[in-house]
A = this chain, B = another copy of it.
C-alpha cells in the first residue's frame, strides 16, 4: 500500500480537518465529532435541516455537498464504516431550526441502524426527524453489508432534490413526500477495473486480473454479478444501459438526468469517452438527457471504474431543483 497518509488509524479525522480548514467558507466541524455542518448558518435559518453521511472513502461524498441549497450537515464514519448514532445525533441537533430534520441514508445495514438510533435520540429531544433510505444500485439484491439493494452514486441526486426543497422553505412532510416519489426513479449500476485499498487494512477489496473487469461491484468492493475480459467502452455502455433499461424502460418522451461517476482512480478522459458512447446509446432510445454530470462524485478511494446513474425526471419540478444554484465544494 502506497498512500499519502500519516497514521492509517487517523485518516478520517485528518481528512475531515483538512476539508474544513481548506474550505472554511463552506464547512465547520461539529466539536468533538467527525461531522461537518454548513458554515453559512444564515442559509439554514427557518428551514428543514438535511443531514447525510456514511462511511468515509467516497469523497467528495458527503461533506463536499454540504452548503447552501444542498446538505446542512454530513457525518463522516471511519473508512467504509457507518458513523456512530451519537455523531449523527450531534449533526441533527446542530442543524435543527425547529422545522425538523430530514436524513438521507444509503442502504447499508450499519447506516440504517445507526441513523435510526440517532432519530430515536432526536425524538426524545422533540426534534422531528424523517428519512429516506436510498437503494439505487440495481446490480444485485442483498449484498455483503446490505439487505435489499445498495445505496450508491444516485444518492447525490437525492441530496440535490431535498436540498433544493429545503432551501426554498418546504416543510418536513413535503420533503419526505417528494423524496419518496423521487426514490424509485433513480437507478445506478457500475463496472470496476480494480478495487479500492482501504488504508486501515492495507489490502485491496478484491483482485482482478490484468485484463479483467467486474460488473455490478459496490462502493465498498461488494461483489458484482459477472467478471469478464475488458471490452471497449461502447460494450460497457451497452451492458450497463441494458441493465438499467430492464428496470426503467427508457423512452424518448420522458426526461432524464444522468450521472457518469468516476470511482476514484479513473481519469476524466475515460469518463468522457464512456459518456460519448453513452449518449450514442441513449439516442437509440430517442433519449437525450436533460441534465448531465460527469466526474468523481461518489468514489471508492482508489477504485478504478465508472458507475452510471439514470434518474427519470417524472416531475418537471425535479429538473428545476437539479438546476438550482448551490454553494458547495463539489456539486
A-side residues, CB < 8 A to B, are: 2-7, 11, 14-19, 21-23, 56-57, 59-60, 64, 191, 193-194, 199, 210-213, 230, 232-234, 236, 260, 264-277, 279, 292-294, 296, 299, 301-302, 304, 306
A15 close to B269 (CB less than 8 A): yes
CB-CB < 8 A to A275: which residues of B? 18-19, 21-22
Instruction: Give the docked Cα–Cα distance between A296 and B21 (Å).
Output: 18
Instruction: Give the docked Cα–Cα distance between A3 and B262 (Å).
Output: 12
Nearest first, the 4 A-B pairs at minimum CB distance are A18-B276, A18-B272, A59-B268, A265-B265
Choice from B4, B7, B15, B21 contacting A279 with Cβ under 8 Å: B21
Separation in Å of the A66 CB from the closest CB of chain B?
14
CB-CB < 8 A to A271: which residues of B? 4, 18
B292 close to A18 (CB less than 8 A): no
**A-B contact sample (7 more), CB < 8 A, given A2-B230, A6-B234, A23-B294:** A2-B194, A3-B270, A6-B273, A14-B276, A18-B276, A64-B268, A268-B299
CB-CB < 8 A to A19: which residues of B? 272, 275, 294
A272 close to B59 (CB less than 8 A): yes
Instruction: Give the docked Cα–Cα distance between A274 and B21 (Å).
Output: 12
**Can you report 5 A-B residue pairs in the complex whose CB atoms are below 8 A from each other?**
A14-B277, A22-B293, A199-B269, A296-B296, A302-B304
Instruction: Give the docked Cα–Cα distance between A190 and B198 (Å).
Output: 24
Choice from B4, B193, B294 contacting A273 with Cβ under 8 Å: B4
Instruction: Give the docked Cα–Cα distance between A81 and B185 (Å).
Output: 43
Choice from B22, B267, B294 contacting A272 with Cβ under 8 Å: B22
Instruction: Give the docked Cα–Cα distance between A268 and B294 (Å).
Output: 17
Given contacts A2-B230, A233-B5, A299-B268, whether A273 and B14 have CB atoms under 8 Å apart is yes
A5 close to B270 (CB less than 8 A): yes
Instruction: Give the docked Cα–Cα distance between A294 and B277 (Å).
Output: 30
